[in-house]
Structure 1
Amino acid sequence: MYQEKTKGFIAEFKQFIARGNVMDMAVGVIVGGAFKAIADSLTADIIMPVIGIFVSENSFADLSLTVGTAVITYGNFIQAVLNFLIMALVVFCLVKGINRFHRKKEEAPAAPPAPAEPSEEEKLLMEIRDLLKERK
């Protein structure tokens, strides 16, 4: 009984893994993780130094508030929000581009309809025409 449940579970898991969507999702997660590093670098190495000119800090991560013995590093939160906004903008642009591509694909002109089946009268006339051509 236990072995049958295990085989069923393993078979179901194999079927789940073999689906194309799971593989696409795995690739998306890996690429998304790599892109997160790019977004973090963009925020920390390019955007934050420029903003730091106006806030007189190197990065938002240096911004903190001490309350008693607790140190509240609200700058880290601001930097995380900027990273999120960058990622959200990129995802929005990707989805918008994909939607535009699908719309153009849907708007593409349909193939011309197949010629209608000739009626019995038209078939008879074509036979007569062909016979007349043979006589000449």
Structure 2
Amino acid sequence: MKDFLNDFKAFAFKGNMMDLAIGMIIGAAFTALVNSVVSNLFMPIISLFTGGIDFSNLYLPLNAASKDAFMAGADINTARAAGSVLPYGTFITDLIQFLILAFVVFLMVRALAKMMKNAKEEEAAEAPTTKECPFCKTEIHIDAVKCPNCTADLK
């Protein structure tokens, strides 16, 4: 049992596992933020262009009772209480949230790729152009196969 607990401890507290847990927590917080931005900022603006439509209350009734509620102009919660509904307005909101989240992730990945490319270019620019001869200890060109000073063959 002690070996089992030690193995679990080693697994659970590895650096990669902790990084993953932190990433999941930040991702959940970021998702909540995007949901709030979409619900509280974008959807009201979009509803201005669509004549004040509240996307969260768009639905299709799927039975007679929910159809009666729909015809009476009931909101989605009243229609759900009356029967089955297909809430396509919620899907539209979720789609907008997904597109915003995907766009933000795209921007983050693009910025990260650009930083990685710049780091590789700097690393390539700083690559050594000379090496030391192991026999006479003089500085020679990195591609040399024979030392011009002591004429030793180099690997």
Under TM normalisation by the shorter chain, which class is it?
0.7 to 0.9
Give the corresponding residue for 2:128: 112
Long gaps (5+) in structure 2: 67-83, 139-146, 151-155
RMSD: 2.3
Contact 1:57 1:63 in 2 (8 A): no
4+ aligned runs moved over 6 Å, structure 1: none
Contact 1:43 1:82 in 2 (8 A): yes
Distance 2:9 2:129 in 1: 44
Contact 1:39 1:86 in 2 (8 A): yes
Q: Deviations over 1:1-60 (max 9, x none)?
A: xxxxx3232222111122211111111111111111211111111111111123334531
State the aligned residue count. Answer: 118
In the TM superposition, 1:1-136 aligns within 5 A as 6-68=1-63, 69=66, 70-108=84-122, 109-117=125-133, 118=136, 122=149
Distance 1:113 1:121 in 2: 16
Closer, same or farther: CA 121–97 of 1 in aligned 2, 3 Å = closer
Distance 1:88 1:65 in 2: 28
Partner-residue secondary structure (3-state), 1:44: helix
Q: Which has the higher helix share?
A: 1
Distance 2:120 2:20 in 1: 25
Q: What's the TM-score once normalised by structure 1's chain length?
A: 0.74
Contact 1:65 1:74 in 2 (8 A): yes
Shift of 1:110: 2.7
Partner-residue secondary structure (3-state), 1:112: coil
Distance 2:2 2:103 in 1: 45
Opposite residue 107 of structure 1, the aligned amino acid is: E
Distance 1:93 1:8 in 2: 45
Distance 2:113 2:148 in 1: 49
State the percentage of identical aligned residues. 34
Q: What's the TM-score once normalised by structure 2's chain length?
A: 0.66
Long gaps (5+) in structure 1: 1-5, 124-136
Distance 1:92 1:8 in 2: 43
Contact 1:61 1:79 in 2 (8 A): yes
Q: Deviations over 1:98-129 (max 9, x none)?
A: 11111111111134244432379957xxxxxx
Give the corresponding residue for 1:130: none
The higher radius of gyration belongs to: 1
